[in-house]
Amino acid sequence: MEDFAMGFSSLENLNQLILNIYDRNLPVHTRISNFFRDIAPFIYFDRASIMIFYKDEVGDYRKQTSFTINWNKPLLRKYDAHYCKLDDTLAPLDRPEPTIIKSSSFFNEALRMQTEYWQGYLAPNNADYEITANLQLSMDKKYRANLSFTRGKEAGDFNDYHMRLTRLFQPHLSRMVKEYISTSYDEDSLYGTGEYNCVGYCILDDNCQVVKRNGIFDRLNTSINNQLLNKIVCLCINLNQSSEAAETLNYEYKFEDNPLFLELSRTPANLDGSKMQYSCLVYDLSRFFDITIRQTKEKYQLSDREYEILIRILHGKKHEEIASELYLSVPTVKKYVATIYSKLDITNQKQIFNKLNLFNDI
């Protein structure tokens, strides 16, 4: 404890810093901000963060949310969009046992300086030296969390004293973040959306950081290479810059090249201290379409072949295209179409949408 005695005037100060982490009268983001403020005299840093991650369906790391000091919004968006999956500290820290990395001794610095992550993100942002620690969460869950301190060359490298201090607070911060995740990311009970197959849901804080979302949102976002989340963040920024900043605003958006439709709303900050947040519902319109067509098949007793042809008609394909895809003659396709019209009690293609109420459903 000799090193700690040099940094803390008394054992009471050390205990108080730990106790503050468990102060449930304060929200987690306030406790983390207070921790970084109180630890700064003992671990000098230019930037600090606690970040929560998950792995997507292809095994890439994605940031769920973050609590940061001196990492501005443009840098965070750049990290989210591209550099998160290049972050070379995430894989070695993805383990159940407590692990702390000092970048200068863990990595081959000469090789690391050749990487895109170093050249494009760390070096330009004065993050030459870093201490990163994993925060222990249940490994059967999908989330991971890391604590990070960074600083530039002019401040010099971190030392063993800083490593020991980080190790001291590691289990306490782990418990706090684990509690935060258990109460914030309950996907199955997230406004009842966890069980549905076509509705994604997410909540973003006033910094446009995702704080809640369900598994359907993850699936839809991954299916279009993170474009969904990127678009939502852009829309949040646009709403925040609106002249009606004090009002509750809503926005609807339909992607042009995929069947996703989203509804975004902004709730302004209240006098009770709650901050502004954004809520977004994402609908997979193809799911609505598929369900409607399957119900039509059952209701009107369409054969499998008639069902295949109806789907292609609704996609605007001509008889010749349908014949080519299904290896049928054009006259045969026309006979099937006539049978479909008869079963649906319609006389032309334009009546199909009204018959199936597709406009109302979508």
Instruction: Inform me whether the pLDDT recorded for 62 exceeds 60.
Output: yes
Instruction: Inform me whether the pLDDT recorded for 325 exceeds 80.
Output: yes
pLDDT recorded at residue 260: 87
Instruction: Inform me whether the pLDDT recorded for 193 exceeds 50.
Output: no
Q: What is the CATH number of domain 300-361?
A: 1.10.10.10
Instruction: Inform me whether the pLDDT recorded for 132 exceeds 70.
Output: yes
Q: What percent of the chain has pLDDT over 70?
A: 85
- Span 246-275, mean pLDDT? 73
Instruction: Inform me whether the pLDDT recorded for 209 exceeds 80.
Output: yes
pTM of the model: 0.55
Dihedral Cα 289, 290, 294, 299, nearest 10 deg: -10
DSSP H helices in the chain: 2-7, 11-21, 28-39, 73-81, 90-93, 103-106, 109-112, 116-117, 160-184, 215-223, 227-240, 285-299, 304-314, 319-326, 330-344, 351-356, 358-361
- Which of 138-147, 150-159, 200-209, 220-229 has the least mean pLDDT? 138-147
- The one-letter amino acid at 151: R
Q: What is the pLDDT of residues 142-154, one digit of tens each?
A: 788 999 999 999 9
- Span 275-301, mean pLDDT? 83
| Token reading at 278 | 């954004």
Same fold, 187-286 and 300-361: no
How do the domains of the chain map onto residue ranges? Answer: 2-184, 187-286, 300-361
Span 187-286 CATH architecture: 3-Layer(aba) Sandwich (3.40)
Residue position matching structure tokens 């230019």: 46
Q: What is the pLDDT of residues 29-50, one digit of tens each?
A: 888 989 999 899 889 999 999 9
Distance CA(198)–CA(176), nearest Å, equals 33
Instruction: Inform me whether the pLDDT recorded for 8 exceeds 50.
Output: no
Which of 248 and 281 is assigned the larger pLDDT? 281
Span 2-184 CATH architecture: 2-Layer Sandwich (3.30)
Dihedral sign, Cα of residue 102, residue 167, residue 144, residue 278:
negative
pLDDT recorded at residue 197: 54
